Amino acid sequence: MTVEVVNNAEETQIAEVVLAAQSQDEEPKKIVKSEEEEEESKPRTVEKSSSYKEESNFLSDLKDFEKKALTELKSKLEEAILGNNLYKKDEPKKKKKNDKALNENAEEKENPVKEEKDKEEEKESTEKPAEEEAKKEEEKPKPEDEEEKEKEGDQKSVNVEEKSSEVIVVDKEISLWGVPLLPSKGSEGTDVVLLKFLRAREFKVNDAFEMLKKTLQWRKDSNIDSILKEEFSNDLSSTAYVNGVDRQGHPVCYNIFGVFANEELYQKTFGTEEKRSHFLRWRCQLMEKSIQKLDLKPGGASSLLHINDLKNSPGPSKKVLRIATKQAVDLLQDNYPELVAKNIFINVPFWFYALNALLSPFLTQRTKSKFVVARPAKVTETLLKYIPAEEIPVQYGGFKRENDSEFFGEDGAVFEIFIKAGSTKTIELPAPEVDSTLVWDLTVLGWEVNYKEEFVPTDEGSYTIIVQKGKKMSASEGPVRNTFRNNEPGKVVLSIENVSSKKKRVLYRYKTKQSSSF
């Protein structure tokens, strides 16, 4: 006896009940089957199931060793900020530069031609008596008022020197991603940020502290805090963008590798080292924009969901793209720790596994544990585990359309039904009011069904109107959107015949607009 394993938790539980019943007598088995059929025939609202959960940032949820590490890191950070020791000192570098210049001057003075040396010695011999005379003159007693002035001048210069050496400017406003880092300020976001560095370094305090210092130094040297004001080429916006949120409210960032199959864009982005640096800086800007959408507080959505679309990607044959990808991964991993909750790779081709093996040694175990891989046939099914249908773009099998004015906010809850292999199901959308417009979205995961749409009037004497003629939908079909304006009460009936050998999952939503609404 074979049992089909499905992803939906509720269906799995039903399958387990069926198995248990089959091991007993026939009567319970029939009852369970009828319940299953009845349950599947009813449309149900898609719930916000949690396929993954971000690690808690509440102090009470941390383990003892994690609390201890956080306390130690806060102490080190407080000391470093108040002691002005967080950043590398620029003064020694300048001094070294000056020393070098002084040494060069000294070498020039110490290596004159012999004639000049003789002249100096001759000059010295003539000036010596004059210096001795001047020395005698200085040793003569001076008037009291002149001595007093000189003392005052000397004292003043000493005070200035002492004052300049004592003044230490302490920047207590040091922040990261808009969160104050000085622990004594008591910002609730400080723990959230510090926990990201601790988790990235497995709660090794010294390693986490060094990582934080390097990140802050990199931001200072690269002037990252002003990167949001910089302007970049519009072409780059097609390579990555933020669109919508997942089931837990994390912003979703889509990285589109297929655009680099265009040779012109490829050369424009990676043609020279300067262009590659420009691309990496733009990628940092996108990351900073994404972080602005986060809620860096305990309980808030404090990380992103990354979708990496490899459809039509040039792949590892493009050496420069491979190098730039690795540079981007290193940059984000080193300076934006634990800011990506999941990294989902979709439309994955065969070469991805070879590239993944290449990059794998450079990734931490935590980073690799966040990877999810989906082949082309499983894209929508995989994304639905993490993102609601209304937030998934239509090109990936969801209902989200650009500049869509039909559905927004809580408008139009998404329902789902399941259709067994070889069976037909109908979905009825009520239209009881005359002169109203029905709008609906529908998708079948993997399609391979026959589909049609009709308007059936309430009055049996009226004619049924064909809205969409029946047609076979291939596996590559995208979501359907249609509208119908009725002149009499009735309902729109959507018929789906499953002609495949597998059970199908159907998602749909609809809304009714009265004539006064438009």
**Does the predicted model carry a pTM greater than 0.85?**
no
Q: How many residues does the chain have?
A: 518
Q: E strands within 105-239?
A: 175-176, 179-180
Residues 212 and 311 placed together within one structural domain of the fold? no
Q: For the domain that residue 504 is a member of, what is the CATH number?
A: 2.60.120.680
Phi then psi for residue 281, to 5 deg, are: -70, -40
Amino acid at position 21, single letter: A
- Cα separation, 272 vs 50, in Å, equals 44
Residues 359 and 316 placed together within one structural domain of the fold? yes
pLDDT score of 277: 93
Q: Which of 198, 222, 246 is the last residue of a domain?
A: 222
- Cα separation, 249 vs 13, in Å, equals 28
Residues 163 and 306 placed together within one structural domain of the fold? no
- Domain assignment of residue 392, yes or no: no
Residues 199 and 168 placed together within one structural domain of the fold? yes
Residues 208 and 309 placed together within one structural domain of the fold? no
- Cα separation, 291 vs 198, in Å, equals 19
Is 332 in a helix, a strand, or coil?
helix
- Domain assignment of residue 394, yes or no: no
Residue with tokens 């940020």: 193
- Domain assignment of residue 129, yes or no: no
Tokens, residue 300: 């808030």
Residues 284 and 242 placed together within one structural domain of the fold? yes
Residues linked to residue 431 through DSSP beta bridges, in sequence order: 490
Residues 212 and 239 placed together within one structural domain of the fold? no
Is 485 in a helix, a strand, or coil?
strand
pLDDT score of 53: 73
Residues 6+ apart with CB under 8 A from 220: 87
Residues linked to residue 465 through DSSP beta bridges, in sequence order: 455
User: Which class for 501: exposed (0-12), middle (13-18), buried (19 or more C-beta within 10 A)?
Assistant: exposed
Q: For the domain that residue 360 is a member of, what is the CATH number?
A: 3.40.525.10
Residues 207 and 238 placed together within one structural domain of the fold? no
pLDDT score of 234: 84
pLDDT < 50 stretches in the chain: 1-34, 92-99, 101-102, 104-115, 156-164, 517-518
User: Could you tell me which of 420, 425, 411 has the C-alpha nearest to residue 33?
Assistant: 420
Is 253 in a helix, a strand, or coil?
strand
Range of the domain at 314: 228-387
- Domain assignment of residue 190, yes or no: yes
- Domain assignment of residue 442, yes or no: yes
What's the start-to-end Cα distance of the chain, in Å? 56
DSSP string, 364-402: -HHHHHTEEE--GGGHHHHHHHHS-GGGSBGGGTSSB-T
Number of structural domains found in the chain: 3
Neighbours of 43 (CB within 10 A): 14
Residues 378 and 234 placed together within one structural domain of the fold? yes
pLDDT score of 25: 39
- Cα separation, 491 vs 415, in Å, equals 17
Residues linked to residue 477 through DSSP beta bridges, in sequence order: none
Handedness of CA 440, 444, 450, 456 (dihedral sign): negative
Residues 201 and 271 placed together within one structural domain of the fold? no
Q: Using only C-alpha atoms, what is the Rg of the chain? A: 36
Q: Which of 173, 201, 222 is the last residue of a domain?
A: 222
Q: Which of 222, 251, 278 is the last residue of a domain?
A: 222
pLDDT score of 44: 72
- Domain assignment of residue 74, yes or no: yes
- Domain assignment of residue 146, yes or no: no
- Domain assignment of residue 114, yes or no: no
pLDDT score of 9: 38
Could you read off the pLDDT of 326-379 as tens digits, one per residue? 899 899 999 999 999 999 999 998 877 776 776 677 777 777 788 899 999 999
Residues 292 and 425 placed together within one structural domain of the fold? no
Residues 6+ apart with CB under 8 A from 130: none
Residues 270 and 365 placed together within one structural domain of the fold? yes
For the beta sheet containing 480-485, the strands, ordered from the edge strand earlier in sequence to the opposite edge, are: 44-45, 415-419, 504-514, 436-444, 480-485
